Amino acid sequence: MSTTPPPPVTQVEDDEVVGADAPRPARLDPSKLGISVGLLVFTAALALFAFDWMRGNEDQRGMVVVVALLLGTVGVFALFILLDRFADALPQDWQERVRPWMYVGPALILLSIFLLYPAIRTIMLGFQGPRGDSWVGSANFMNIWTDPELRRSVYNTLAWMIVVPALAVGIGLVFAVLADRLRRGEALAKSLIFLPMAISFVGASVVWAFIYDFQAFGSQTGLLNGIMVALGQDPVSWFAIQPWNNFFLMVIMVWMQTGFAMVILSAAIKGVPEDIIEAARIDGATELQVFWRITVPSIMSAIVVVTTTMIINVLKIFDIVWVTTGGRDGTPVIAERMIRWSFSFRDQGQGAAIATMLFILVIPVMVWNVKRFRAEEEIR
């Protein structure tokens, strides 16, 4: 005689059936929520008091540093713990929606305060007068195209954006391929080529200023002019030869950035499968064909990243121009003009307009980079 197995016993808690698929109770804990909100308000008030204290006690630098470290470590850690407790006090269906914003929210607030607000403020300041207290409309932006030096700075910056990344990436790629073929001394060769990256832009500018140095009277102390005199030629004022003086300045940045390009591209080249290269060589491909048809397409993503990074660095360059020529003899660039108008000429409106122009030039580069990455993700 067959017996039917008894139905599964369900666990009853608080007059509710709790099963494997039963929804978890969703209730709001008012006491826990109130405590969390109170602690958050107290923490925010304490942070504001600490910021006010640091601003008023700049002479006590030791204590200011200690308080800043505590705010940046213990304060942030306590903030996230309180936010997590605040999320736990919410109903269950709200927790999954609110908790991600609890962790991302502080970062978004800081980005808005220190990045988004200054950007909006700079754009608005570009429509105002020298002291930022009068509205001048688009006069500052129109002045960029009517003032000869400002217009020249835009053209020079565009030339820097083309020449410097092209030369640095091209030379770095050649060095990466050649260094990869060395049986001995690869690390030493790469270290020597990468060494200029350890020098600041100002330091490199001073070094190359001695190389290009020109003395109208007396003996020549510059390396290039010393060679010219030794060969029986007249010394040359390299920084005064227009428009080639811009190219002489670009050489300084190419000298510094080539090592960076070489290191990144060398790592990408080592990731190219050897089977593909050996198969191409067996099929009769020359080394040049292997380089252009296999190596370069395989590392194209790395080339794009390095090129984009260098273009952004070029847009920010002002140290080299400031130290060597000061923007004279047709060598101004946008970043140098921005610093000069903002701080030397005390014209905040014109400086903000130039900064906005610099921001506009960065946008196409970033859009192109994002599209490139999305296309690569679709292929993968």
Domain chopping of the chain, boundaries: 27-125, 140-379
Report which of 214, 248, 243 is spatially closest to residue 229, judged by C-alpha positions.
214
pLDDT at 17 over 50: no
Listed in sequence order, the residues at least 6 apart from 293 whose beta carbon sits closer than 8 Å to its beta carbon are 280, 285
Look at residue 28 in the predicted model and tell me its pLDDT: 63
Task: Report the pLDDT value the prediction gives residue 29, as an integer from 0 to 100.
Answer: 65
Which pLDDT value is given to residue 90?
76
Residues 285, 286, 289, 294, CA torsion sign: positive
Does 78 have pLDDT greater than 50?
yes
Q: Which of 39-53, 155-169, 176-190 is least confident?
A: 39-53
d(CA 181, CA 287): 12
CATH of 140-379, one of 1.10.3720.10, 1.20.1090.10, 1.10.10.10, 2.60.40.10: 1.10.3720.10
Res 5 pLDDT > 70: no
Least confident of 21-25, 146-150, 184-188: 21-25
Q: Supply the pLDDT for residue 35.
A: 76
pTM above 0.85, yes or no: no
Going by pLDDT thresholds of 50, 70 and 90, the confidence category of residue 371 is confident
Bridge partners of 11, per DSSP, are 18
Whether the predicted pLDDT of 215 surpasses 60 = yes
Predicted pLDDT at 46: 79
Q: Answer with the residue of higher pLDDT: 171 or 38.
A: 171
Q: pLDDT (tens digit, 9 = 90+) per residue, 122-174?
A: 999 999 988 888 899 889 999 989 999 999 999 999 999 999 999 999 999 99
Mean pLDDT within 326-340: 92
- Classified as helix, coil or strand, 184 is coil
pLDDT tens profile 227-277: 999 998 999 999 999 889 999 999 999 999 999 999 999 999 998 888 988
**Which residue from 104, 274, 267 is spatially nearest to 190, judged by alpha carbons?**
267
- Residues contacting 76, CB < 8 A, separation 6+: 106
Q: In this predicted structure, what is the pLDDT of residue 7?
A: 54
Q: Looking at per-residue confidence, does 101 or 200 come out higher? A: 200
Tokens found for residue 330: 């047709």
For a pLDDT cut of 90, what percent of the chain falls above it?
38
Q: What is the pLDDT of residues 109-128, one digit of tens each?
A: 888 888 889 899 999 999 99
CA neighbor of 351 nearest in space, from 180, 85, 141, 178: 141
- pLDDT, average across residues 330-350: 92
Confidence label for 15 from pLDDT (cuts 50, 70 and 90): very low
